[in-house]
Amino acid sequence: MKPIDRFFSQSAKEMKPYSPIEPPDQIARRLNLPEEQIIKLDANENPFGTAPEVLQALKNGRYYHIYPDPAQVHLREVIAQYADCSPDMVVAGTGADELIDIACRLLLESGEKVVSFAPTFSYYGHVVALNRGQLVSYTREDDFSISLEKAKAIDLTDVKLVILCSPNNPSGNLLEEPVLDYFLSQDVVVMVDEAYYEFSQVSYLDKVKANSNLLVLRTFSKCFGLAGLRVGYGIMSEELAKGFMRIKPPFSVNVAAEVALETCLNNLTHYQEQVAELTRIRDWAIAELSRFKQLQVTPSRSNFILCRVLDAAAADIHEKLQSKGVLVRYFDTDLLQNYIRVSIGTQPQMEIFLEQLRLLIR
Ligand SMILES: *Cc1c(COP(=O)(O)O)cnc(C)c1O
C-alpha cells in the first residue's frame, strides 16, 4: 500500500510535531511515583489549582447542553470590562493559541513573512508554518532584549505580521516600548502576546485605540489557572476584530470556560493575592538560584525563571529532577544552549525543587 501521507499538504508533511508535554499522571505512572508527589513546574500554570469558587460555579452551570453564542456577546462584555475597552474590540478563542492561528489565517497569503525574535514562544513558528507563512526569526541580544537599531534595519517587504511577546517566554523580560512603537509606525500588523500580563502588570493595551494595526493577546491559562479549560482573548481595533469574528470557528470557546472565566473576573482579589505571593516566591527563588555557581539566572517579570547551566548538562538535571517528581523545562537549542526554565510553584514546592537541585549542582 502507498503511504497515506502522500495526501498530506506539503506544509503538514514538513512540520515538526509541537514539543509535547507529558501529563503528570502519565509521568507518575512511568516513574512509579504517587501522583501527589509530582511537582509540575514545566508549563507556567497556576500552582494553587482551580479556585473553589470556580469549581462551584462550574457545578452550578445550567447551559452545557446549549451551544455557546457564536457572537460571544456576553463573553466579550465580561472581558471588555476587565480589560477596560469596548466589547467590539474583544475576540475570545480556545486559548491565546487559537487566536495566533486565526491571526495567521486572516492575514497570511502563502509564502508571506512573519517576523519574530528568538528565543521566544515556539508555537509561533509552528502556526505560521501550518498556515503556509514563512517565519523570519531574528536573534535577541545576550540579555534577551530586542535592539531598536537592529529592528529598524529589518527589511519589512512582504512582512505582514510582527510577533512580540511581553514578558517574553522563556526569558521573562519585557518588550521595549520604542521597539513596539517603531513596528506600529510601519505597514505591518503587530501582535503583542501578553500571556503573563497579570504577573508583570505592564501592558501595551492602551496603544490599541491609536493603532488599528495592534493586536494584544491575553489568556486565562496562566494567572487564572484555567489552562485545561482553554480560553484566551485578543484586544484589537474594531475593524481587525470584525475580521477575526468573520473567520473564527463559531463555537470554539466552550460554555464551561465562559462560566469559569466570569467567576475568575468576579474574584479578582483572590488572584491579585496569588500574584503577590508568587512574585514574592519568584524573587526569593531568583536570590536562591543566584547562589549556585553553576547557574546564570535571568531576571524575570513573569512566573518563571530561565537559568543557564554551566559545567553540567541541563538535560541531565532535567531528567534527574524528573525522577524525583520535579518537572522543569529544559532547552538545548542553538540560541538556548543548556538552559532550564522553572515555573514558580508554591513555597513548599520551590523548597523541594531547590533541595533536589542542590544534590545535583552547586
Ligand atoms: C502559555 C502561552 C500561551 C498560550 O496560552 P493558551 O491561552 O493556553 O493557548 C501563549 N503565549 C505564550 C507566550 C505562552 O507562554
Question: In this predicted model, which residue has the larger pLDDT, 226 or 9?
Answer: 226
Q: Which residues pair with 1 in a beta bridge?
A: none
Q: What is the pLDDT of residue 1?
A: 83
> 217: which DSSP letter?
E
CB 218 within 8 A of CB 96: yes
pTM: 0.97
Q: What is the pLDDT of residues 60-112, one digit of tens each?
A: 999 999 999 999 999 999 999 999 999 999 999 999 999 999 999 999 999 99
Among 144, 222, 300, 306, the mutation site with the greatest number of ligand 1 atoms within 8 A of its Cβ is 222
**Top-tier CATH class for 4-49+269-360:** alpha beta
Please give the distance, rounded to the nearest whole angstrom, from the Cα atom of residue 195 to the centre of ligand 1. Answer: 6
- Rg, Å, the chain Cα set: 21
Does residue 194's CB lie within 6 angstroms of at least one atom of ligand 1?
no
Does residue 279's CB lie within 6 angstroms of at least one atom of ligand 1?
no
- CATH code for the domain defined by 61-267: 3.40.640.10
CA distances from 59 to 41, 72, 177, 260, 297 (A): 28, 22, 43, 10, 43
Q: What is the pLDDT of residues 125-170, one digit of tens each?
A: 999 999 999 999 999 999 999 999 999 999 999 999 999 999 999 9
Does residue 95's CB lie within 6 angstroms of at least one atom of ligand 1?
yes
Domain-wise residue ranges, the chain: 4-49+269-360, 61-267
Atom nearest to 98 CA in ligand 1: 9
Please give the distance, rounded to the nearest whole angstrom, from the Cα atom of residue 44 to the centre of ligand 1. Answer: 9
**Could you tell me which of 270, 291, 234, 5 has the C-alpha nearest to residue 98?**
234
Q: What is the pLDDT of residues 189-233, one digit of tens each?
A: 999 999 999 999 999 999 999 999 999 999 999 999 999 999 999
State mean pLDDT over 242-250.
Answer: 97
**Could you tell me which of 289, 287, 282, 286 has the C-alpha nearest to residue 309?**
289
Task: Give the residue, by CA position, lying nearest to ligand 1 atom 2.
Answer: 195
State mean pLDDT over 19-36.
Answer: 88
State mean pLDDT over 329-347.
Answer: 97
Please give the distance, rounded to the nearest whole angstrom, from the Cα atom of residue 233 to the centre of ligand 1. Answer: 11
- Long-range CB contacts for residues 10-18, cutoff 8 Å, separation at least 24: 11/129, 11/130, 11/131, 11/132, 12/130, 14/129, 15/126, 15/129, 15/130, 16/126, 18/122, 18/123, 18/126
Task: Give the residue, by CA position, lying nearest to ligand 1 atom 1.
Answer: 195
User: Which residues, other chains included, contact 15 with Cβ-Cβ below 8 Å and sequence gap of 6+?
Assistant: 126, 129, 130
